[in-house]
Amino acid sequence: MITILAALFVFGVLVTVHEFGHFITAKMTGMRVDEFAIGFGPNIIQKKYGETLYSLRIIPLGGYNKIAGMEPDEPADEGAFKSKPIPSRMLVILAGVLMNFILPIILFTGIFAVNGLDLSVDKPVLGGVMPGKAAVEAGLQPGDRIIAVGGKQVATWNDMVLEINSYGEKEVVLSAERNGVTRDYTLKPEYDKDYGKPLVGISPQIEHKNFSIFESLKMGFKYTEYITLMMLDGLYKIVTGAAPADVTGPIGIAKIAGEAAENGWMPLLNLTALLSINLGIINLLPLPALDGGHFVLLILEALRGKPLGEKAATMIQSIGVGLILTLTVWAVFSDISR
């Protein structure tokens, strides 16, 4: 049950926030929004304010807006999407993606403000030693301060790691201080297939840091940027064949959401933020039926001085919908096979 509720929450928040971006900018630019709905299926409640019908529907998996004039066969009347200047239409198209990047900033800010963050201490003091690894076998213990690596003095954890890594799988001598006494320990790093490099099996000390709301906001921006760049790098590697296309579909995401929810609100909100960034990046891809595809068509219209014909636009949209459905089915089958 918790998996279903968590999935409904995550999908509902992601899609509703995305659609709200389109909705609010359409209103700001004078476009007519015939309907803004939260959820799908039969109405629970609906109310018309001005020209827009607002509805809450029974299946809380996202939502949608119906902006006048977005379909190729709709008339270009005064409040229609297609009757507005290209910059206005571009803003409306990109606003959904923008909201997908604003949401994680807000969520990460809240997480940092409430939870703080565990940070590694940049001193060459051992916080832990891994069982079965070279460090513990040599006799090193948590709390030992590393003075030198191979006779070379080190002042920070990073300096120490770089020096140890320079030895590869060769023996290295660490000079460590314990209770005011310094002695040497000889270690032979061993290749670890999980990490993909030689390890001696040590970890830094960890300290918990709390942040003010302004510090949390700054961290929210920086962490959103970091995750975005990491995801873009992963997408580049998939496209170039440097990494396998390991796709997680809606079933897999629902399972992950359920596992996150079992650990509390913070992990669930963190997952929602990560998926929001992912959704934003995917929607920017220049594929028909995605926001990125619509944006490319607007660029072409600006260059040509006129929009695509109704027949061509309908065909492109149909291809896009077919492609999205195919990818969705593939992702679902990937989930089932796992």
Between 331 and 81, name the one with better pLDDT: 81
Looking at residues 109-138, what average pLDDT do you find?
92
> If 0-12 CB within 10 Å is exposed, 13-18 middle and 19+ buried, where does residue 174 land?
buried
Q: Report the alpha-carbon distance of residue 256 to residue 298 in Å, rounded.
A: 37
In 121-179, where do the E strands start and end? Answer: 126-129, 145-149, 152-153, 172-178
pLDDT band at 211 (very low <50, low <70, confident <90, very high): very high
Q: Report the alpha-carbon distance of residue 101 to residue 98 in Å, rounded.
A: 5
The residue extents of the domains of the chain are 2-116+212-337, 120-208
Name every residue whose Cβ is closer than 8 Å to that of residue 226 and which is 6 or more positions away in sequence: none
Residue 311 pLDDT > 80, yes or no?
A: no
* Mean pLDDT over the full length of the chain: 85
**What is the CATH class of 120-208?**
mainly beta
Name every residue whose Cβ is closer than 8 Å to that of residue 121 and which is 6 or more positions away in sequence: 127, 157, 204, 205, 206, 207
Q: What is the pLDDT of residue 2?
A: 78
Residue 252 pLDDT > 70, yes or no?
A: no
Looking at residues 278-289, what average pLDDT do you find?
86
pLDDT tens string 66-122: 999 887 777 778 888 988 999 999 999 999 999 999 999 999 999 999 999 888 889
Looking at residues 289-313, what average pLDDT do you find?
81
Residue 205 pLDDT > 90, yes or no?
A: yes
Residue 293 pLDDT > 90, yes or no?
A: no
Between 128 and 247, name the one with better pLDDT: 128
Q: What is the pLDDT of residue 289?
A: 76
Phi-psi region of 298 (alpha: psi -120 to 50; beta: other; left: phi over 0): alpha
**Helix axes 250-262 and 2-28, enclosed angle (nearest 10):** 110
Pseudo-torsion of CA 154, 160, 166, 170, nearest 10°? 100
Q: What is the pLDDT of residue 10?
A: 85
Q: Report the alpha-carbon distance of residue 10 to residue 271 in Å, rounded.
A: 8
Annotated catalytic residue 19? yes
Rg over alpha carbons for the chain, rounded to the nearest Å, is 27
Q: What is the pLDDT of residue 75?
A: 77
pLDDT tens string 13-46: 898 899 999 999 999 999 999 999 988 888 889 9
Instruction: Single out the catalytic residue among 19, 163, 177, 190.
Output: 19
CB 263 within 8 A of CB 297: no
Q: What is the pLDDT of residue 32?
A: 93
Q: Report the alpha-carbon distance of residue 323 to residue 288 in Å, rounded.
A: 8
- Strands 190-192 and 197-199, how do they pair? antiparallel
CB atoms within 10 A of CB 52: 18
pLDDT tens string 138-192: 999 999 999 999 999 999 999 999 999 999 889 999 999 999 999 999 999 988 8
> If 0-12 CB within 10 Å is exposed, 13-18 middle and 19+ buried, where does residue 77 land?
exposed
Looking from the CA of 267 toward its CB, the CA atoms found within 13 Å total 10
Q: What distances in angstroms separate CA 319 from CA 26, 36, 93, 316, 323, one per listed residue?
A: 25, 26, 19, 5, 6
Which of 68, 73, 62, 64 shows the shortest CA–CA distance to 89?
Answer: 68
